[in-house]
Amino acid sequence: MSIPAFGLGTFRLKDQVVIDSVRNALDVGYRAIDTAQIYGNEAEVGQALAESGVSRQDVFLTTKIWISNFRREALRASLQESLAKLRTDVVDLTLIHWPSPKDEVPMVEYLGALAQAQADGLTRQIGISNFTIDLTRQAVEILGADAIATNQIEVHPYLQNRALIAYLREQGIHVTAYMSLAYGEVLKEPVMQAIAERHGATPAQVALAWALQQGYAVIPSSTKRENLAANLKAAEVKLDDEDMARIATLDRGHRLANPEGIAPAWD
């Protein structure tokens, strides 16, 4: 099962806000939703999906296991709890949200538990998130590259993550890009604005098109229906080699997701 190129992210969206965002996204044509245990919104995502009128089998649903649930039995129980909140018997993709800080839980334990959950039919695919080259290499040694559906990582014009992405491509591991708009920072970038003007597009559409044209999946979030619809049209924006080269010059290693005590030693 391939991972949809375009989905809705739900990070930082809570309560009625996330219900409305998911409902509007599904209504304008989204068919992939990304959530996580730590977001505290799985129940609301499940409610919005159940009330949407869109068949569950038509929506690609992703969640992520939080670091406090990495022990073998805890991981399984937490995933079952996520399924109950999401009102589904199986999710399409389950990720390890962050590698275990200071290797508190051995990777072989939590990846083994995740693989067992897949074998038992709780999730169709499994993957990783925020894994560096070295950590991904360890995951490949444990699971095999073919078992890892994706590595979900921060990627935007200001953080292009080239070394890690080159390694993932060597291994045949798909890239899911999060924070594609860098919390809106890239929308103010003159280079992005100029490219957008040339294409009759928005800077957000250009940033998303840039990621899509490199083969990444994207999961931008929005609370506004008009922005949700506009973002989805990024797939229609075709950037040329000059556009891509100009955006390549914007990389400055500007990382936004770097939680103290949790983040690994980045590449």
Indicate which residue of 30, 39, 110, 158 is catalytic. Answer: 39
At residue 119, the pLDDT reads 98
Q: By residue range, what is the domain housing residue 148?
A: 8-184+214-228
In the DSSP assignment, the letter for residue 6 is: B
At residue 1, the pLDDT reads 65
pLDDT tens digits, one per residue of 201-214: 999 999 999 999 99
Task: Report whether 90 contacts 126 (CB < 8 A).
Answer: no
pLDDT tens digits, one per residue of 63-116: 999 999 999 999 999 999 999 999 999 999 999 999 999 999 999 999 999 999
Q: Residue 167: inside a domain, yes or no?
A: yes
Mean pLDDT of the chain: 98
DSSP H/E element including 43? helix 42-51
pLDDT tens digits, one per residue of 216-256: 999 999 999 999 999 999 999 999 999 999 999 999 999 99
Q: Residue 93: inside a domain, yes or no?
A: yes
Q: Residue 193: inside a domain, yes or no?
A: no
Respond yes or no: is residue 39 known to be catalytic. yes
Q: Residue 206: inside a domain, yes or no?
A: no
HEC secondary structure over 106-171:
CHHHHHHHHHHHHHCCCEEEEEEECCCHHHHHHHHHHHCHHHEEEEEEECECCECCHHHHHHHHHH
Q: Residue 103: inside a domain, yes or no?
A: yes
Q: Residue 151: inside a domain, yes or no?
A: yes
pLDDT tens digits, one per residue of 8-17: 999 999 999 9
Q: Residue 125: inside a domain, yes or no?
A: yes
Domain count, the chain: 1
Q: Residue 115: inside a domain, yes or no?
A: yes
Q: What is the pTM of this model?
A: 0.97
At residue 36, the pLDDT reads 98
- The CATH number that applies at residue 37 is 3.20.20.100
